[in-house]
Chains A and B, each alone.
Chain A
Amino acid sequence: MNKNSEYLIERENKKYEVIIGLEVHAQVTSESKLFSQSSTKFGAEPNTQVSLVDAAFPGMLPVINEFCIEQAIKTGIGLKAKINKKSVFDRKNYFYADLPQGYQISQYKYPIVGEGKVILDMPNGQKEIGIERLHLEQDAGKSIHDIDPNNTLVDLNRSGVALMEIVSKPDLRSPDEVNVYIKKLRSIMRYLGTCDGNMQEGSLRADVNVSVRLKGETEFGTRCEIKNVNSIKFMQMAIISEANRQIDLLEEGKEIDQETRLFDTKRNETRSMRSKEDAHDYRYFPDPDLLPLEISQELIEKIKTVIPELPDEKKKRFIDKFNLSPYEATILVSDIETSNFFEEVIKKSDVKLATNWITGELFAVLNEKNLEISQSPVSAKNLSKLINLIKDGTISGKIAKTVFEQMIDGDQDPLIIVKEKGLKQESDPKAIEELINKVIENNSDKVAEYKSGKDKLFGFFVGQAMKESKGKGNPQLINKILKEKLNG
């Protein structure tokens, strides 16, 4: 790795390295909850998606939703991780108003997925981030404190929804890496269809572990855990603020207390939630209502057959097969919708032009209008038509941009635009010759100057000829014929 790109925080000749580990909570894409049949649909009226099991009525028992198990296995395969044939659901015991059972069913000692890895594409090369484990657990309900002045209200719609907790090794070293890591995880899960990664709806949240150490140290410093951060931007802000807080303490000769902290987004600082001494004793023990989870090799093999091509493999294919640069390939595979769009466009058009048009003009429009590619105002079909018009010389690249601007408005067919507006490129050599003759006639003084050695004037003639053709003249043809006329 290039030394210059290292993220270090400096204090009077001293350089501190920041060590980051993430526990990402990803909501499993599933119609129903982890241990009940209630719906997981987001945004429903409070307490309308709650079964007797979710509300922990007496005598109610959890029954594993096998689809969620398959989703976790899929994700494990996507993380190149070991799938554990036997895992155990444990009870994590604590009291809270939005935790109806008085315990969360989670996996403690024996998670469903073991060690794996995620590859990050950083500007200066690739970096591998280790995955420690992935386990399944129930989400809690929501406590709402700001509706009733005297009471806390509880919404149990989320209670029992399946989460995957994906724990990274402490391999991340900068806010940028965290950004790329989260996006990569999200991308892998979206490719797999195991988590929609929608951070606004809380489908992806993370606990961020941060510690610092002097550059060159090999031991880890004392870490603090920042709970429940729900956007990449806030994760980055929290890391920077927390790392600086820890460094300030060390600089003052003070110790860092291992504790759980919360990030205050308004004040851009973390504050203590509870110290190690106050840490909950969760009294984990195997849930006696559930048998250990046994996964057969057959099931794993069956799931492997439906794993789609993932971003890393797709990127390699794009580079090998389409001769894209790693940079272009990374951009095109980063999101499954983008790569699908790209592959749709190149089914019937030129790869190089498609790459440029998607990463250039199309992305610019999406950015400007704040749209996802799935909401693209120009369909893959019409974009490939446009590219073909350029490729076969019907229109020039410049005209294409004009056409594209019109296409945005209601996904219009470029063929129709070109025809209706008469934008077809003039490629008839006789017609070109005629207009060039006209230009030469009208500028006899410039012709003389050119012939006497002022080569730079060639561009002037090209411009004049283009103008004469109202922008529709084939540039290659203009160049060729002009040269013949002027030099001949």
Chain B
Amino acid sequence: MSDITSQSLFELTSNIKEKKLSSEEITKAFINRAEKSKKLNVYVTDNFEKAIDQSKKFDSNPNLDFKLPGIPIAVKDLFCTDGVRTTAGSKILNNFVPTYESTVTQNLWSQGAILLGKLNCDEFAMGSSNETSFFGNVQNPVGENLVPGGSSGGSSAAVAANLTPVTIGTDTGGSIRQPASFTGTVGLKPTYGSCSRYGIVAFASSLDQAGPMTKNVRDCSMLLEVISSFDQKDSTSIDYKRNHYSKELSKDIKGKKIGIPKEYRVDNMPDEIELLWKNGISYAKDCGAEIIDISLPHTNYALPTYYIVAPAEASSNLARYDGVKYGFRSPGQNLIEMYEKTRSEGFGDEVKRRIMIGTYVLSSGYYDAYYLKAQKVRQLIKKDFDDAFSKVDAILTPSTPSSAFKIGEKTNDPVSMYLNDIFTVPINLAGLPGISIPAGKDKNNYPLGLQVIGKPFDEQNILNISYALEDKINFKNDISDWWLSE
């Protein structure tokens, strides 16, 4: 048996079910490795002591019918966890301990999983490199001083570094898929309405979705099966019959029509990304898929549209962090002064930048020119996909226009940072499911990902295509454990 922490969720689950490993052994193995991995800075808050207690409790009376029997899992610190501090990577929630549990994490615990701790992320999920976190940047295990992507950077790093078997992140414009791509891991953003948003600290309500982040596609299907559920506490949750994703997982994609959108061939795209895409296409052909050239004509407008819609919603969603009810408060002589000091000191620069953009685009006199127009463009982008999906079953694109960059490289250039999301943002605007799988490496040996985009509620199909491609690509993440301390 290989080292516990390098095992996939599927392996760990099998080993527990076959009684080859106990929950306590697994939990302690991950905790032990985490203790030696502080340099990566993936944890904001750990739950190690309680996790060990819970694993012992599980072992004393193991329920092997669970889908995640006694499996320890760390989650992004955007999910509210009952009794465990939840910060959203922000100073303003530095001391916030929820008395309630998000639906998605509750779904994990209801299937036997155990909370290992809360993973670092960009502040309020606003960022593409995990550098906006109040709790400091995260190191990408792929290479020293490399960003792990964002906003689910702690999550991607933790999976890649074998600090959690799987994790869940949230994706508003690419926050699951881009960090997955940067760390050589798998990340799926489900259809909007698939996973409940109840109890997830909101960034942009019409775009936010939780999703699985894993080492491979099979684990991804297993985790999606657990977290996706209809929830009456979220009015945008959709009541539809969800697949038994892991059971229905299949590499047979013969005859599937896969679209290649020409607009994703952007200027200055590195050759290695172009090559990665070409390879992906030929692997798909090898699997018997039919490749069809398609057009998504409004792709160019996706990024500007996103950077109007998302900040607009965020500016309103973050109004509740005012120092009155919970979280950080900086006292003032009067209410206005208290607001100003609390929010000036409590929020970081990127969050403030987006609150200002959002406030501006919703302001009287600018609303029509920005917000309303963006909503119209969003409809056009959605229609592009609707039209494309009348011809194809899925769409294949690169996940990101580059591999992971150095820490600090883009912090002073927000626009270049925003460009990271160019391939992932349209999928959120259209509410579609998208998955990033590791597909190759660049000249520095840094991972690169391919994205498979599906029709609404067609997660099974993109999982299957990814499963088939994964097999052909046979990607190996060679991570040297350079950060480990004794």
Which residues of A approach B to under 8 Å, CB–CB?
52, 55-64, 91, 93, 95-97, 100-103, 152, 154, 281, 283-285, 288-291
Contacts and interface: CB of A to CB of B under 8 A. Distances in A.
Given A59-B198, A59-B200, A64-B235, A95 B322 contact: yes
A63 B313 contact: no
Nearest to B87: A58
Interface stretch (B39-47, B56-64, B109-117, B358-366): B358-366
A174 B197 CA distance: 51
Interface residues of B, number: 42
Contacts of A59: 80, 98, 102, 197-202
22 contacts: A56-B320, A56-B325, A58-B96, A58-B320, A59-B80, A59-B197, A59-B198, A59-B199, A59-B202, A61-B234, A63-B235, A93-B316, A93-B362, A95-B322, A97-B324, A103-B316, A281-B363, A284-B362, A284-B367, A285-B367, A288-B313, A289-B202
A103 B312 CA distance: 13
B482 interface: no
Contacts of A96: 335
B364 to A, nearest CB: 5
Nearest to B326: A57
Contacts of B324: 97, 100, 154
A182 B485 CA distance: 76
Nearest to A281: B364
Interface string B202-245: 10111000000000000000000000000011111000000000
A55 B325 contact: yes
Nearest to A101: B320
The 5 A-B residue pairs with the shortest CB-CB distance, nearest first, are A102-B319, A288-B205, A283-B362, A288-B206, A59-B199
A147 B325 CA distance: 19
A421 to B, nearest CB: 66
Interface of B: 80, 86, 88, 93, 96, 98-100, 102, 197-202, 204-206, 232-236, 312-313, 315-316, 318-320, 322, 324-326, 335, 339, 359, 362-364, 367, 371
Q: Which of B234, B316, B339 has the most CB of A within 10 A?
A: B316
Contacts of B205: 288-289
Nearest to B93: A58
Contacts of B204: 288
B98 A283 contact: no
B205 to A, nearest CB: 4
A449 B124 CA distance: 108
Nearest to A287: B205
Contacts of B80: 57-59
Contacts of A102: 316, 318-320, 322
A63 B325 contact: no
B169 to A, nearest CB: 15
A111 to B, nearest CB: 19
A244 to B, nearest CB: 33
A55 B100 CA distance: 13
B316 A283 contact: yes
Contacts of A291: 235-236
A56 B202 CA distance: 11
B363 to A, nearest CB: 6
B233 A58 contact: no
Nearest to A58: B201
Contacts of B325: 55-57, 100
